[in-house]
Amino acid sequence: MKVSVSTIAPAELDVDLLVVPVNLAGKAEIGAAIGLSGKLFDAALSDFSAKLGETAVFYPEKKFQSPRVCLAGLGDAEDVTVEALRRAAAAAAPSTAKSGIETVGIVVPDCKDGAEAAGEALAVGFVLGHYRFDRYMTTNDQPVNVPARLVLQSSQADKQVRVGAERGKTVAEAVCQARDLVNLSPDEKTPTLLSKAIEQTAKKSGFTAVTWDKAMIEEEGMGGLLAVNRGSMEPPTFTVLEWRPDNAMNDKPIVLVGKGVVFDTGGLSLKPTKNSMDHMKADMAGAAAVVGAFQAIAKLEMPLYIVGLIPATDNRPGENAYVPGDVVKMHSGKTVEVLNTDAEGRMLLADALSYASSYRPELVIDLATLTGAAVVALGNHVAAVLTNETDGASDRVDQMQRAARTSGDRVHPMPMFEDYAEQLKSKVADLKNVGDSGAGTITAAKFLENFVSYPWIHLDIAGPAFLDSPNGYRPAGGTGFGVYLLVNFLLSRASGRKSR
Ligand code: BES
Ligand code: ZN
Ligand code: ZN
């Protein structure tokens, strides 16, 4: 899909369908503003309440260039937010995805975050709204037509809108890449196949990716990753992604770590199937978010040195599987008593976090579908954010919360009080891999903190990474949560400002 910007008046814009975003306050004036009038328009407008996500398609009179108009509600807030624009553009997708519609125009409304942000949000919503995962459909009675061209109509500020729209398209395509990886059937994303997919993305986008095999993982002493892998027929992989442009502003890298459990049966502490194991192809959503973020980072040519680490394995109850009671020697040298094989994510993340120290990083961010407790606490709408209480802790969380607001990938903080670490004391080893009861998201983060020696942000994305039913511009299945969050966090860090 190509994105362009036009200053031609809406009534003269030559497109197959024109989307006109409308908020309640602007409803009365929209006809005069756009050049729409007549009986059909009046009827459409009177049936339309401008609620966020609501749409109404009608066929305007001849003097209007576009044969179809789609009114798209922005809600009743006076100030139009980027989230409203994303949702409105995505809500129009069922109308714009019909065959025969090749060129779609969207009128860019005033937005409180500015014209660039408005262009970005509309492009993001539009691309994400057209996402479908139909790889395995042999008969498809509802094929989706992705229009070849999106034209953003803006009489002023067309340059800013263009810059925003280009960035939005790039980011949204990266989100779709992450969604695809999550939605892929587990047998098509064994650790080896996942690493191949990462290498392909690297080649196509311009970053580097190097994959370690099992022998190298053994040599490096990644006991946590190897323990989880013991029940599997497939060897683990550890993929190192790197983006280091000549104009990088940082000498010490920012490291992104993604949980890459390609399927989590729970291991011998087996999960029940319904509403539990049946979602666990998404247990590599953290890895997918890191890969998607790298795609965007490279395509946007971000002036930052960034490293990605993806430990990958499945977690299965094979004959040689690790068992409750096993004591594992981790990459860092610490020992962990395994009391539940389903708490596997922290075992491999601990090794990746420990290895991350070798980069002397300025900051490490990990993303992981780590705990069911995060879903209990926060549901599907928001990820948990936690950080070690070193210098700058609250600034880091603030910065992440700002990126959450601009991206729509929402986060909510949880505490890291030392009291929670009590639960992880083992009688036979340095640590045990599960807490006793309560606050499972926090005890998981406290576990990881033992392997961290730098400023660190932990994002538990178990809730928002995968949905049973669609929500706004997020479809059922993999959502690509975290890609846009990371991109905006990194962009704001690069620009040196606290928010964009
Ligand atoms: N992958 C799961 C967490 C999860 C649950 C992700 C629901 C997405 C949706 C993780 O490996 C796990 O099983 N965690 C256990 C930890 C427990 C045994 C301490 C959990 O949350 O039940
Ligand atoms: Zn598990
Ligand atoms: Zn898991």
Tokens of 151: 């034209």
346 is catalytic: yes
The pLDDT of residue 281: 98
Ligand 1 nearest atom to the CA of residue 433, by list position: 19
List the catalytic residue out of 179, 214, 259, 346: 346
Nearest residue by C-alpha to atom 8 in ligand 1? 462
Q: Which ligand number lies closest to the CA of residue 342?
A: 2
Q: What pLDDT, in 10s, does the model give residues 184-239?
A: 999 999 999 999 999 999 999 999 999 999 999 999 999 999 999 999 999 999 99
Tokens of 170: 């790039």
- Residue 458 sits at φ, ψ, to 5 deg, of -110, 125
The answer to whether the CB of 371 is under 6 A from ligand 1 is: yes
Give percent of the chain with pLDDT exceeding 70. Answer: 99
425 is catalytic: no
The answer to whether the CB of 158 is under 6 A from ligand 1 is: no
pLDDT tier at 254, thresholds 50, 70, 90: very high
Ligand 1 pocket test target in 264, 371, 382, 432 with most atoms within 8 Å of CB: 371
The answer to whether the CB of 60 is under 6 A from ligand 1 is: no
pTM strictly above 0.85: yes
Q: How far is ligand 2, taken at its centre, from the CA of residue 343, in Å?
A: 5
pLDDT tier at 499, thresholds 50, 70, 90: very low
Average confidence (pLDDT) over 254-266: 99
The answer to whether the CB of 373 is under 6 A from ligand 1 is: yes
Q: What pLDDT, in 10s, does the model give residues 161-172?
A: 999 999 999 999
The answer to whether the CB of 286 is under 6 A from ligand 1 is: no
The answer to whether the CB of 403 is under 6 A from ligand 1 is: no
The pLDDT of residue 216: 98
Q: Cβ(243)–Cβ(359) under 8 Å?
A: no
Nearest residue by C-alpha to atom 7 in ligand 1? 372
Sign, CA dihedral 221-225-230-234, equals negative
**CA pair distance 430, 425, nearest whole angstrom:** 7
DSSP run (H or E) holding 395? helix 393-407
**CA pair distance 181, 197, nearest whole angstrom:** 9
The answer to whether the CB of 345 is under 6 A from ligand 1 is: yes
The pLDDT of residue 134: 92
Taking the C-alpha atoms of 48, 152, 293 and 409 in order, what is their torsion angle to the nearest 10 degrees? -20
Residues in the chain: 500
Q: Which of 299, 373, 306, 307 is nearest to 343 (CA)?
A: 373
pLDDT tier at 418, thresholds 50, 70, 90: very high
Q: Which of 117, 121, 89, 107 is nearest to 26 (CA)?
A: 107
**CA pair distance 315, 229, nearest whole angstrom:** 6
Tell me the three state secondary structure of residue 216. helix
The answer to whether the CB of 369 is under 6 A from ligand 1 is: yes
**CA pair distance 363, 223, nearest whole angstrom:** 24
List the catalytic residue out of 271, 281, 396, 432: 271
What lies within 8 Å, CB to CB, of 325 at 6+ separation is 337, 338, 339
Average confidence (pLDDT) over 290-306: 98
pLDDT tier at 426, thresholds 50, 70, 90: very high
Tabulate helix, strand, coil % of the chain (nearest 5).
40, 20, 40
Q: Which ligand number lies closest to the CA of residue 338?
A: 1
pLDDT tier at 141, thresholds 50, 70, 90: confident
The answer to whether the CB of 372 is under 6 A from ligand 1 is: yes
Average confidence (pLDDT) over 58-65: 90
Instruction: Please name the residue ranges forming H helices in 184-314.
Output: 191-205, 214-220, 223-229, 285-299
CA 125 vs. chain centroid, Å, equals 14
Nearest residue by C-alpha to atom 22 in ligand 1? 372
Q: Cβ(424)–Cβ(329) under 8 Å?
A: no
Query: Per-residue pLDDT for 62 more than 90?
Result: no
If phi > 0 it is left, if psi is from -120 to 50 it is alpha, else beta; for residue 492 that is: alpha
Q: How far is ligand 1, taken at its centre, from the CA of residue 418, in Å?
A: 22
Give 303-347 as a 3 state SS string: CCCEEEEEEEEEECCCCCCCCCCCEEECCCCCEEECCCCCCCHHH
**CA pair distance 417, 436, nearest whole angstrom:** 16
The pLDDT of residue 142: 72
Around ion ligand 2, residues with a beta carbon closer than 5 Å are: 264, 342, 344
Q: How far is ligand 2, taken at its centre, from the CA of residue 264, in Å?
A: 6
pLDDT tier at 63, thresholds 50, 70, 90: confident
- Mean pLDDT of the chain, nearest integer: 96
Q: Which of 216, 286, 234 is nearest to 479 (CA)?
A: 286
Which domains are delineated in the chain?
Answer: 2-153 (3.40.220.10), 176-495 (3.40.630.10)
Query: Per-residue pLDDT for 497 more than 70?
Result: no
pLDDT tier at 156, thresholds 50, 70, 90: confident
Q: What pLDDT, in 10s, does the model give residues 436-470?
A: 989 999 999 999 999 999 999 999 999 999 999 99
The pLDDT of residue 167: 98
Integer angstrom CA distances of residue 150 from 116, 225, 484: 16, 45, 21
Q: What pLDDT, in 10s, does the model give residues 339-396?
A: 999 999 999 999 999 999 999 999 999 999 999 999 999 999 999 999 999 999 999 9
Q: How far is ligand 1, taken at its centre, from the CA of residue 370, in Å?
A: 6
DSSP state of 190: -
